[in-house]
Amino acid sequence: GENVEQHPSTLSVQEGDSAVIKCTYSDSASNYFPWYKQELGKRPQLIIDIRSNVGEKKDQRIAVTLNKTAKHFSLHITETQPEDSAVYFCAASYSSASKIIFGSGTRLSIRP
Amino acid sequence: EAGVVQSPRYKIIEKKQPVAFWCNPISGHNTLYWYRQNLGQGPELLIRYENEEAVDDSQLPKDRFSAERLKGVDSTLKIQPAELGDSAVYLCASSSSPQETQYFGPGTRLLVL
């Protein structure tokens, strides 16, 4: 069935360095890929998304890249700050069923 | 603009008891989702509504879970009877249409003892 795999499950980076989180998806019909940030005890919040007609999208320190051929997409956070510490979830939307499948999450910790 | 509202925020019950969760989506959002999120995992879709119609409930354990969205606005999710394994955070989300941004509510944290 449809599946989204996310790596790594935990990531610790020095403040100011970059962080990269990678996801792969199984259904080639997927065409919408959002990323959510969830702080401890809070709701998931959309931070950036990309559609399959675009290869890269940037929003200040956050960027997402999509490789449709390889069926993987990545989140890049540059110049990391303490407030970037959270769990990040990728997701893929399967257009045939209008269903969204989430990855298992990456716990990002920013070391001061 | 008010976000997605959920209540209660926390619920502790004994196993075999019933429990209900309520969700009020963002005004004008026709699509409503119920998710279950276990500790350390991503949200798992339980059911999706388009207006008042449940269009995807394949992941809803129908022997004990039920949901409704009367009048296509508010929704309730019910568990009867609850089991220990139902302990999780139940998230409601809404969007203007499928494949548009989903906005999540704060969730209901359920603990079944």
Q: Give the mean model confidence (pLDDT) for residues A6-10.
A: 96
Does position A96 have pLDDT exceeding 70, yes or no? no
Angle at A111 between CA B107 and CA A12, to 5 degrees: 70
Chain A residues in contact with B41 (beta carbon < 8 A): 104-105
Does position B2 have pLDDT exceeding 90, yes or no? no
- Closest residue by Cα to residue A22 from A85, A72, A87: A72
Which residues 41-100 of B are in CB contact (within 8 Å) with A? 41-45, 48, 55-56, 91, 98-99
| CA dist., res. B50 & res. B25, Å (int) | 12
Write out pLDDT tens, residues A44-70. Answer: 999 999 988 889 999 999 999 999 999
Chain B residues in contact with A49 (beta carbon < 8 A): 101
Please tell me which of the candidates B42, B99, B106 has its beta carbon nearest to residue A93: B99
* pLDDT at B97 (0 to 100): 82
Tokens of B63: 């022997």
Band of pLDDT at residue B101, cut at 50, 70 and 90: confident
Q: Give the mean model confidence (pLDDT) for residues B67-76.
A: 92
Report whether A34 contacts A28 (CB < 8 A). Answer: no
Q: Do A99 and B48 lie within an 8 Å CB cutoff?
A: yes
**Which of the pair, A102 or A2, is modelled with greater confidence?**
A102
Q: Do B98 and A91 lie within an 8 Å CB cutoff?
A: no
| CA dist., res. B68 & res. B73, Å (int) | 10
Q: Do B102 and A46 lie within an 8 Å CB cutoff?
A: yes
> What is the distance of C-alpha A11 from the center of its chain?
13
Write out pLDDT tens, residues B16-50. Answer: 999 999 999 999 999 999 999 998 888 999 999 99
For chains A and B, what is the number of CB pairs under 8 angstroms?
48
For chain A, the first-to-last Cα distance in angstroms comes to 41
Write out pLDDT tens, residues B41-70. Answer: 889 999 999 999 998 888 899 899 999 998
User: Taking the alpha carbons of B88, A107, A84, B94 in that order, is the dihedral positive or negative?
Assistant: negative
Of A13-22, A95-104, B73-82, the one with minimum mean pLDDT is A95-104
- pLDDT over 70, % of chain A: 96
* pLDDT at B71 (0 to 100): 86
**DSSP 3-state of B85:** helix
* Cα dist from A35 to A22, A93, B90, B111, whole Å: 11, 11, 19, 28
| CA dist., res. A34 & res. B42, Å (int) | 13
* pLDDT at A92 (0 to 100): 92
**DSSP 3-state of B36:** strand
Instruction: Spell out the residues 6+ positions from residue B10 whose beta carbon is closer than 8 angstroms to its own.
Output: B108, B109, B111
| CA dist., res. B3 & res. B17, Å (int) | 30
What are φ and ψ of residue B2, in 5° steps? -70, 145
